[in-house]
Structure 1
Amino acid sequence: MDNLTHSLVGAVLGQMGLKTKTGLAMPTLIIAANIPDIDAACAVYGQLSLSMRRGITHGPIALILLPILLWAAMIGFDRWQTRRGKRPENRLPIHKGWLLALAYVGCLSHPALDWLNNYGIRLLEPFSHRWFYGDSIFIIDLWIWIALGLSVWLSLRRERAKVAAWTRPAWVGFTAVCAYILFNGALTGVAERQVAASLDRAGHPDALVVASPPPLQFWRRDVFWRSGNRYGTESYSLGTYEDIAITGTPTGMDDPRVAPMVATSPVAKAFLFWSRMPVAKFDAGGRLILSDQRFGNPLSRGQFEVIVDPKLEPGP
């Protein structure tokens, strides 16, 4: 998910009452909710970073060590402010046990959210390079922004007004988002099963079926499928899908020109390591264009497309 969503999750956890457990609880929760994304620095490698993101910093070793490092940094910061006489008087004392627990709570919320969309996350890196996908929530979800942002704002407003039940809006927002996530997960499952049944009847019994929520329209799914060397896209809306004839388009991945060109291109290899539903095409100049069926929207296609020019690539 995007970093605003991760930050709002950290903030709502704090407003649910966790920030009363120790000093520096709120910044710890918000930073911890974002800290696995330190791998964003690999963006300097351009499209090579597709195979680097959501890997080692989202795996079990990092999820054990990162909260400890953050915990130590927060304790060091509190002591540094104390020595300089800059520590805020109204800050709660540091409770080391609670501070470490909140660092873990915030950090573990990150892969849980990232798993929900269809970009993918390697939850077991470095022990396994397998990608995991939830296919339930769009990577930037406006409805989650609104629910979490509103609940944090109302909770803070109540807290400043010294209302006794100031945590209630945060709990309501958190519960609503959890229900929204469960609903979307169930809808994805229904869409994939119905399209898979249509594919089975059309002679594609072992097709890979991936339902992806479009932006804003959480009640709809773009359902991508591929069987053998053919692929296609179906549209599903809550309760309105009709069984239709499904044919499909060649993926192009079985073209004998693809493998030799990929072998000479590190970027193409990285792309195929990440890609779940790759598609290969050749332009008039003989260049190989690799894309991913999940990200065929014109707004996102350029970020998820690799062009291999045989004239520019080194020989084997």
Structure 2
Amino acid sequence: MRRREYADMAAAAIDRLALYASRVEPVTHMLTGACLSRALGFPRRARFATLACVIAAELPDADYVYRLGGPVTYFQHHRGWTHAFWSLPLQAAFVVALMYGWRFARRRWKRRRSHDDPPPFRPVLLGCMALLAQLSHILLDWTNNYGVRPFAPWNPRWYAGELVFIVEPVLLLVLGGALLLPFIFSVTDAEIGIRRTRYSGQWIAAIALVVMVALWGWRWQQHDTAIHIAEQQEYAGGRVLRVSANPYPVNGYRWHMVVETPNNFQTGAVDTRNLVMEMDQQPTPKPATTLSTLAAKHSLLGRAYLDWSRFPVTTDMGTVGENHPEMDLQPQERAFHDVLFQDLRFGYDIWNLHGQASRALSGEAWVNDQREVERMYLGSSEQNP
């Protein structure tokens, strides 16, 4: 296999990973659900409480099933009705039904019960616990810069706290440690002959949740500082219209900034520790509207992208043949106009991926001479016809 084919495969894999991670990765959600259950003492009150909370904390991301309809279809429905407040009671009821099924299966398997009497099966209480875990999912999704729309369909507006990166190693370490430490302590106690406490680790889980909220509060303060620093700068494009501060993982003092002026967008990085902003060399001009960009904006991709994007840049890149000379295309395909959709909030490198995460959240529409969209791409993945 040629080197270019290996490179294309690697780029496609990174695109899919970045698109998958555009939702808070499932580990953080499930760890939060488990910590909520343990911190609030749910296992003492209802059977299968922790299992219900873990499932409920990740269940809103079941919208990933839309990926079967293609990347643009998934992008259109991502963080849609499954992340809306009205649907959470229905999802909680589904979790309770799953627990009923699990209870029935355990009885059929005739599993030997432990010597300690388990708590009773309380479906109403389980439903309330599941609902709380699902609310934690919405809150976690709100804290990153991708956003969430909890009041859809009546209010389709996207809300984003822009506090933590989509994958935050600090939260993974804190929440994972809160669940791992009690297990380590129980092994140590068994070695020295101390009787194990059945529902241990409640206070450790509670401390982990407090640390998570404290991290959000500190990031909120740094976010506001970054916004203030960016607003005080002078820009060639004129006065400041809007500002967005987008977080980096781990380092809460560094923020990717997007500043809109009447004539262009200025990007850069703010260091809130030293109270300085380093601007990118060239601002991004607001591209002119062409017939091709108008056609692309009215496509499925264009409508979904412009509904979600906060700082969209829609650019007519010229013909596909000029923009993608490496692709094996038919002559008529090379003459299509390539319209690129980008959101400047995600135009920064993370973990030396060299823009691959940004590429995964960009879109392309190929427009023919009749101003019809022939092909649509999200990242390097083509939408099914």
What TM-score do you get using the length of structure 2 for normalisation?
Answer: 0.74
Question: For 1:60-116, what per-residue CA distance to the aligned partner results, in whole angstroms no more than 9, with x for missing partners?
Answer: 221121112211321232134224423744643212332122111111110011000
Match of 1:126 in 2: 153
Change over 3 Å in CA distance of 1:147–1:311 after alignment to 2? same
Partner Cα separation in structure 2 for residue 238 and residue 49 of structure 1: 36
Alignment-derived partner of residue 179 in structure 1: 214
- What amino acid is aligned across from residue 38 of structure 2 in structure 1? Q
Give, in whole Å, the separation in 2 of the partners of 1:284 and 1:196: 35
Q: Distance in 1 between the 2:306 and 2:279 partners?
A: 30
Residue in 2 aligned with 1:153? 180
- Partner SS, residue 157 of structure 2: coil
Q: 1:11 aligns with which of 34, 49, 56?
A: 34
Task: Please name the residue that 2:339 is paired with.
Answer: 288
Aligned to 2:366: 309
Letter in 1 for 2:233: S
Displacement of 1:47 in angstroms is: 2.6
1:240-289 superposed Cα distances (whole Å, 9 cap, x missing partner): 2337889832131x423354222553222222222111112233424111
Equivalence map 1:1-316=2 (5 Å): 1-16=24-39, 17-44=41-68, 45-86=70-111, 88-89=113-114, 91-158=118-185, 161=189, 162=196, 166-198=201-233, 203-205=238-240, 207-242=241-276, 248-252=283-287, 254-257=288-291, 259-263=293-297, 265-285=299-319, 286-297=337-348, 298-311=355-368, 315=372
- Listed as ranges, the gaps of 5+ residues in structure 2 are 1-23, 190-195, 320-336, 349-354, 374-385
Question: 1:124 is paired with a residue of what secondary structure?
Answer: coil
Contact 1:118 1:135 survives alignment (8 Å): yes
Q: CA–CA distance in 2 between the matches of 1:245 and 1:108?
A: 38
Residue type at the aligned position of 1:294: R
* Pair 88,114 (structure 1): closer, same or farther in 2 beyond 3 Å: farther
SS of the counterpart of 1:309? strand
- Do the aligned residues in 2 keep the contact of 1:118 with 1:212 (CA within 8 Å)? yes
Q: 1:209 is paired with a residue of what secondary structure?
A: strand
Any idea what SS the aligned residue of 1:155 has? Answer: helix
CA contact under 8 A between 2:49 and 2:126: conserved in structure 1? yes
What is the aligned residue count? 314
Cα RMSD of the aligned pairs, angstroms, is 2.6
- The residue type paired with residue 315 of structure 2 is K
Distance change (3 Å), C-alpha of 1:195 and 1:54: same
Distance in 2 (alpha carbons) for counterparts of 1:135 and 1:25: 31
C-alpha separation between the residues in 2 aligned to 1:170 and 1:73? 25
Cα displacement string for residues 207-260 of structure 1 (whole angstroms, at most 9, x for unaligned residues)? 2111011133222111111123410112111232337889832131x4233542
CA distance in 2, matches of 1:229, 1:155: 57
- The question of whether the paired residues in 1 share the 8 Å contact of 2:270 and 2:277 is answered with no
In 2: Cα distance, 1:50 partner to 1:224 partner: 23
Larger Rg: 2
Report the alpha carbon displacement of residue 190 of structure 1 after superposing the two structures with TM.
1.5
Deviates more, 1:151-160 or 1:3-12: 151-160
Distance 1:313 1:216 in 2: 49
TM-score by length of 1: 0.89
Aligned with 1:279: secondary structure? strand
Q: List runs of 5+ in structure 1 lacking aligned partners.
A: none
Q: Which amino acid aligns with 2:341?
A: L
Q: 1:124 to 1:272 in 2, by over 3 A?
A: same
Instruction: Give 3-state SS (helix, strand or coil) of 2:158's partner.
Output: coil
